[in-house]
């Protein structure tokens, strides 16, 4: 159970975000985590928290927006890449070696943002 990081333990190793709205929701979520020092933004095309505001202007800062970040608790690296030309985005976590006794990953197509937004 040591591997169940309270910050990123529930995040799937890979996720595909089908819509800009999903991507921006995730950016806002990750940006909030960064502001709480739960996430370290290692590298990025532009400030993560400013992306939703930038997107509202109707123009993206680049054709490919990349953010590399690291969980400050377990040092797991996360890579979030958005292809603004094709309107798709994906996310990958490095060193994704889930423990054998881990809970099954969320259903296919679920994004980390949705995982956080669990309705009770
Ligand atoms: Zn973590």
Q: What is the pLDDT of residues 31-78, one digit of tens each?
A: 999 999 999 999 999 988 888 888 889 888 999 999 999 999 999 999
Residue 48 inside a domain? The answer is yes
Strand partners, 21: none
Using CA of residue 97, residue 2, residue 11, residue 72, what is the dihedral sign? negative
Residue 104 inside a domain? The answer is no
Distance 73 CA to ligand 1 centre (A): 5
Residue 114 inside a domain? The answer is no
Residue 117 inside a domain? The answer is no
Distance 94 CA to ligand 1 centre (A): 11
Range of the domain at 47: 14-96
Token pair listed for 8: 């990123």
Residue 109 inside a domain? The answer is no
Distance 70 CA to ligand 1 centre (A): 8
Residue 61 inside a domain? The answer is yes
Closest by Cα among 48, 119, 39 to 89? 48
Residue 73 inside a domain? The answer is yes
Q: Which residues are placed with Cβ below 5 angstroms of ligand 1, an ion?
A: 5, 7-8, 71, 73-74, 76
pTM, 2 dp: 0.72
The pLDDT confidence band at residue 90, using thresholds 50, 70 and 90, is very high
What total number of domains does the chain contain?
1
Residue 9 inside a domain? The answer is no
Q: What percentage of the chain has pLDDT greater than the value 70?
A: 76
């Amino acid at each position: 159970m040591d591997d169940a990081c309270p910050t990123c333990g529930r995040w799937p190793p890979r996720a595909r975000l089908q819509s800009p709205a999903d991507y921006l929701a995730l950016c806002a979520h990750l940006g909030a985590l960064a502001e709480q020092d739960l996430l370290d933004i290692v590298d990025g095309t532009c400030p993560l928290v400013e992306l939703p505001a930038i997107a509202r202007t109707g123009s993206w800062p680049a054709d490919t927006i990349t953010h590399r970040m690291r969980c400050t608790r377990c040092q797991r690296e996360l890579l979030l890449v958005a292809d603004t030309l094709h309107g798709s985005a994906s996310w990958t976590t490095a060193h994704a070696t889930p423990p054998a006794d881990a809970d099954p990953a969320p259903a296919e197509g679920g994004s980390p943002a949705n995982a956080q937004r669990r309705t009770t």
